[in-house]
Amino acid sequence: MIIDNGGDEKVSFLIDEISPKDLSYNLFDNGFFRVHTGYRSYGKIYYITLHANTRLGGNSEPITIPIEITKNPELAPSFIRTNLVIPIYSGQSLIHDFVANQDIVPVYEQIHYSVPFANATHPSWMKIENNKLMIDEVPKNCDSLYTINLTLTNEPGGSRQTELSLMCSK
């Protein structure tokens, strides 16, 4: 509610604060404002505090409105090569660094991502830490092909489930 004893009908909206502060905007005379977002804004919730006033001194209490910038599925991480196959060797160890090998787009330096297992059904001798697939020792009796499910996740794009194949040689 605007308290304006002068009866001025021309109302302006003023933005008092936007948080987090990494969102930029332009105000227009007609009461509209345009928000400028980059890919780092996707998936975040911003809080805009504003109030209304008139030229004759009318004023309202500030209100805070949450605005969510939806995730952009086009920015969800994915493997560069479909059907990625990593060779593993019976009795040997493996550390496969998805970041260093640049297996995933968008690249980590541009948009950070994480690579956890998609579910609990993966061989117990495999683990993932810091975006690295690690195997202390490939079993001596390994099968010819293992398929594991991963969830590739980043902030602006969300999550994408994918498969990774490991080809075992003796």
pLDDT at 38 over 90: no
Please state whether beta strands 78-79 and 104-105 pair in parallel, antiparallel, or not at all (unpaired): antiparallel
How do residues 141-153 score in pLDDT, each as one tens digit? Answer: 887 889 999 999 9
- Structure pTM? 0.72
For residue 39, the SS3 value is helix
Q: How far apart are CA 56 and CA 110, in angstroms?
A: 49
Q: Which of 15-19, 57-61, 80-84, 125-129 has the lowest mean pLDDT?
A: 57-61
How do residues 60-92 score in pLDDT, each as one tens digit? Answer: 889 999 988 888 899 999 999 988 999 999 999
pLDDT at 20: 84
Q: Which of 28-37, 81-90, 103-112, 154-163 has the lowest mean pLDDT?
A: 28-37
Q: How far apart are CA 34 and CA 92, in angstroms?
A: 57
Q: Which domains, from first to last, does the chain contain?
A: 11-70 (no CATH), 75-169 (2.60.40.10)
Tally Cβ neighbours within 10 Å of residue 12: 13
Q: How far is CA 160 from CA 63, 115, 136, 157, in A?
A: 37, 10, 27, 9
